[in-house]
Amino acid sequence: MMEHENIMGTFFGNLTIDTYSDIKNTAAQPSVELSEHFYFRSGEDVMLVKHQRYSPPMEHHHTFFEIMYVYEGRCLNNIDNKKLILEKGDVCIIPPKVVHSISVADDSIVINLLVRTSTFERSFTSILLASDILATFFGEIVYSNKYRKYLLFHTDPDDLLIQTIQFMYLAGDEKANYYSQMMNGYLGVYGGAFAAA
């Protein structure tokens, strides 16, 4: 049992085993809300988490943005009862309060980029000023109560996206000096890269 809890602790980032147990015990509810204070430490705005493989899907929603990137392989994402298969190179943006679950049933690598809502708005201000699908999507989320449940990009594996994810992963793994500033900067690069891809 302890090995399972350690694996789940890795999946849930900064959550403790006790916190995971609380979430696990409420999983029978329709959807578990995951809030920013569970994931982000003080001063942290962006977090990169490798999604745990072979884990059962857990229906949840959160108070922050999730940007999924399929680094290798594929995954199943169930968003508001709509099943989506994401393939290598796909990017899916899920805004706060949207009920979803993710399933990675093989050796695929799925990266979840978790972003505080306030940071998301600051980081993508230039995109909000444009007049394309990204600007419309972000504008609806930031300035309206009615918006789409997700935005999915089918991209070919893009070198800049891949390199940015790798840099973010290394920065998070090493908890380098100026970690938060680096992650915020990489978030801007990542946003520009998938917008251009």
pLDDT in tens, 141-185: 666 666 668 888 888 778 888 888 888 888 776 666 677 888 888
CA torsion angle for 47, 48, 52, 56 (degrees, to 10)?
50
Residue 83: per-residue pLDDT: 94
Domain with 112 in it: what CATH number?
Answer: 2.60.120.280
**51-76: average pLDDT:** 90
CA nearest to 89, candidates 66, 115, 109: 109
- Report the distance separating Cα 49 and Cα 169, nearest Å: 8
Domain count, the chain: 1
77 lies in which domain range? 2-196
Q: 180: which 2 tokens?
A: 């938060």
Residue 139: per-residue pLDDT: 67
Residue 20: per-residue pLDDT: 36
- Report the distance separating Cα 39 and Cα 46, nearest Å: 10
Q: Is-contact 121 142, C-beta < 8 A?
A: yes
Q: Is-contact 162 71, C-beta < 8 A?
A: yes
Sheet (strand 46-50) strand order: 46-50, 109-115, 65-72, 91-94, 151-153
